[in-house]
Structure 1
Amino acid sequence: MSQNKFKLVECPRDAMQGLHDFVPTALKSEYLNLLLQVGFDTLDFGSFVSSKAIPQMADTTAVLANLDLTNTATKLLAIVANLRGVENAVQHQEISYLGFPFSISETFQQRNTNSSIAQSLNVVEEMLSLCEKNNKTAVVYLSMGFGNPYGDEWNYDIVEKWADVLVTKGVKILSLADTVGVSTPEKIESILPKLISKFTETEIGIHLHSTPKERFEKIDAAYCSGVKRIDSALKGFGGCPMAADDLTGNIATEDVISFLTSKGEHLNLNMNKWNEAMNLSEKIFGNV
């Protein structure tokens, strides 16, 4: 993709990980294989984390073996939360990206990865080294990038400080993540242009959670801020099981597609496969 094209990152892993009932491996694989045919830049397909923490993703290796990558340009991204996960993920040639949730809230970093910010920075350093050795690219999510509900200090300077630390370490892709839906269009338009203009050699993306009624204004704010990388999930399913955000799901991919199309952006997506995936999603998510 050229630099001017949007990178759409579809996130079925984020959509599924908090579901109570285990989604059978065959059904997961069927769903992912449809999404691979749509034409997204990246598919956030699974995670190498503790099965006790996220039981829904315990079959990521089995799912990976079932994916058909022969006729797709979509790259695979897997989430990791510690060094063991990194070491497992880099063994799989099919995976292009390793994603790590780096929270600028100490409380949430402990809650999400059972480690401190300092310990997590060490994991990022190890991840960068192992990615380089194994021809992978690290994607670091600046989690709680728009604030947090835990009372931890938050302001733009803190966001920029950690972005600077990570970019200096060698991170090439940063995604500002709003895990609990506290972002506003004003915050997005205040923070993102500054980061994009300061870190010109870094791909700056956005991973937003939102209530349905606020989705379009947040997408619009991201677009106006110059963001070219947007994470989303079909129908806005999902949320973080480690955060108290029952009402906030992911940004809905169909809303992103609709918005960008209305702006004249050519996304080059296979909408027939997209509609098939929309239909199949009911088997996974039901009335969630």
Structure 2
Amino acid sequence: MTQQQTIKLIECPRDAMQGIHDFIDTDLKAAYINLLLQVGFDTIDFGSFVSPKAIPQLRDTAEVLAKLDLGNTNSKLLAIVANLRGAEEATVYEQISYLGFPFSISETFQQRNTNSSISQSVDTVKQLLELCDRHDKTAVIYLSMGFGNPYGDDWNTEIVEKWANELIGHGAKILALSDTTGMSTPERIKEIVPALIKRVENLNQGIEIGLHLHSTPYTRFEKIAAAYESGCRRFDSALKGFGGCPMATDDLTGNMATEDLISYLNSKGEVLNLNMEKWQEALAFSARIFH
């Protein structure tokens, strides 16, 4: 493998916090993220520039950003955007390296999540990629509902490959295949991921394929193992598996638990270069965020 060799861990406190009903104090959010910034993750998915009506918990993303200490970390920041307006707002901040956009291959969920159709979202992706180029940022395009959907919309591996190829054709450099409602299985992961990785390696354009898996605690390790064995080296996760997508379902399926991911990768001899003392501090601090 070429582009997939180095392990990249993307810690997602934004995803973990966004569905919590009671508003988390801005200083508390910032303190938690500041701890995570010291652990050594490649990227921290820290907030989003979306309508406060859609995700009220994250209405203070700009204020949180102002309180982050980026002087003693190599971690980069990622913010989620749902439309061009949000992307334009996010590009103002030099501290943000990545803009993430949820591109659903389920028409129902694209409407539900971003209030736009798939075809409209293709146009948004094109404009987002141009905007990122102008502002020295990188887009991360999430192929959400990448392993199926609960709405009855058409899904098969050919649909996944079709949209991955189209997004790459428009210039996307990072695709994160997203299991929005926990529908992935080891079999589906092994069916889809190796083919995508081989496809981008043949292009030799430095494109990354990542996984943003949601899971119940009982299926985490088998999904992590399937992803790793399939060649994936870019993983999204959240401490203790907190969170999920509030736009997908009321009964949240949690994120992949970072501690399970770390445990598995350590068992494979991967050198993660994480500050485990700071990680333990973040684990303890998380009790103040997630009750």
Superposition TM-score tier, normalisation by shorter sequence: over 0.9
Contact 2:243 2:252 in 1 (8 A): no
* Residues 1:225 and 2:230 aligned together: yes
Q: 1:257 aligns with which of 254, 258, 262?
A: 262
CA distance in 1, matches of 2:216, 2:37: 26
1:240: which partner in 2? 245
1:164: which partner in 2? 165
1:48: which partner in 2? 49
| Higher alpha-carbon deviation: 240-249 or 182-191 | 240-249
* Residues 1:113 and 2:114 aligned together: yes
CA RMSD across the alignment: 0.9
Q: What stretches of structure 1 move > 6 A for 4+ residues in a row?
A: none
* Per-residue Cα deviation, 1:185-230 (whole angstroms, up to 9, x for no partner): 0000010000000122320000000000000000000000000100
Structure 1: stretches of 5+ with no match in the other structure:
none
CA distance in 2, matches of 1:108, 1:125: 20
1:186: which partner in 2? 187
1:271: which partner in 2? 276
Paired AA for residue 180 in structure 1: T
Q: Displacement of 1:5 after TM fit?
A: 1.8
Q: Displacement of 1:4 after TM fit?
A: 2.2
> Structure 2 length normalisation: TM-score?
0.97
Q: 1:203 aligns with which of 208, 218, 222?
A: 208
Structure 2: stretches of 5+ with no match in the other structure:
none
* Residues 1:89 and 2:90 aligned together: yes
Contact 1:192 1:225 in 2 (8 A): yes
> Structure 1 length normalisation: TM-score?
0.98
1:72: which partner in 2? 73
* Per-residue Cα deviation, 1:35-62 (whole angstroms, up to 9, x for no partner): 0000000000000000000000000000
CA distance in 2, matches of 1:23, 1:244: 21
CA distance in 2, matches of 1:37, 1:244: 33
CA distance in 2, matches of 1:3, 1:165: 21
CA distance in 1, matches of 2:264, 2:83: 36
Paired residues, number: 285
Q: Percent identity?
A: 69
Paired AA for residue 106 in structure 1: E
SS of aligned partner of 1:26: helix
Q: Displacement of 1:3 after TM fit?
A: 5.5
Paired AA for residue 170 in structure 1: G
